[in-house]
Amino acid sequence: MMIMSATDSTFFTLNEVATAIWQAADGRTPLSEIVAAKICSEFDVNPDQAERDAEQFVTELSRHGILLVSDQPILGSPASPETR
């Protein structure tokens, strides 16, 4: 999967793990839950390393304005039932 920043036109080519994180990022599910439920269950990876790598990936996308990081669920996110 490839994604591009609309802000600075930076392209990101996502591997299978990054794609799984991207697809699971719904604005409501915490990253730690995504890592535990998706990454650690589907890929042979150490949970601590998976959490660090996922945080690094999300931080990088956030820096480019591709992904919004929040401590609270994002209401009205595209994946939420209120906006369908």
From first CA to last CA, the distance across the chain in angstroms is 24
Model pLDDT for residues 11-62, shown as the tens digit of each residue:
999 999 999 999 999 989 999 999 999 999 999 999 999 999 999 999 999 9
Paired tokens of 79 = 């994946």
- Nearest alpha-carbon partner for 5 in 78, 63, 56: 63
Model pLDDT for residues 67-76, shown as the tens digit of each residue:
888 888 877 6
**Residue 83, pLDDT score:** 36
Indicate the angle between helix axes 47-63 and 16-24, nearest 10 degrees: 70
- For residues 33 and 20, the answer to whether their CB atoms sit within 8 Å is no
Conformation bin of residue 65: beta by default, left when phi > 0, alpha when psi is -120 to 50? left
